[in-house]
């Protein structure tokens, strides 16, 4: 969804449509849907006929994903080094 003016681009966004939420993460809308289904991203809120995502909730979910992935990274230690046979 493209804004038609510089003014519209500079207005802070508190709520995002599905495609905008996906774009904010640099992923496709279908992958965003998968992440919502897997609980990695928050569910949108339907208001009237429009489903919107809170921008801060999407950001918080992203930061939580990054923290989880960072904690699972290989620390260079072989888990079998301390195994007694």
Tell me the whole-structure pTM to 2 decimals.
0.70
| Residue 64 to residue 75: CA distance in whole angstroms | 19
pLDDT score for 66: 87
pLDDT score for 31: 98
pLDDT score for 71: 66
Domain range summary for the chain, segments of one domain joined by +: 13-72
What CATH topology corresponds to 13-72? Multidrug-efflux Transporter Regulator; Chain: A; Domain 2 (1.10.1660)
pLDDT score for 4: 65
Strands 50-54 and 15-16 turn out to be antiparallel
pLDDT digits (tens), the chain, 85 positions:
555 677 777 788 899 999 999 999 999 999 999 999 999 999 999 999 999 999 999 999 999 998 876 666 666 676 667 777 6
């Amino acid at each position: 969804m493209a804004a038609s003016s510089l003014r519209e681009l500079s207005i802070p966004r508190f709520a995002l449509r599905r495609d905008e939420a996906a774009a904010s993460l640099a992923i496709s809308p279908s992958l965003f849907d998968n992440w919502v289904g897997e609980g990695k991203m928050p569910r949108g809120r339907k208001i009237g006929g429009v489903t919107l995502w809170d921008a801060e909730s999407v950001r918080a979910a992203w930061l939580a994903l990054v923290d989880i992935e960072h904690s699972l990274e290989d620390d260079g230690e072989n888990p079998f080094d301390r195994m007694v046979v």
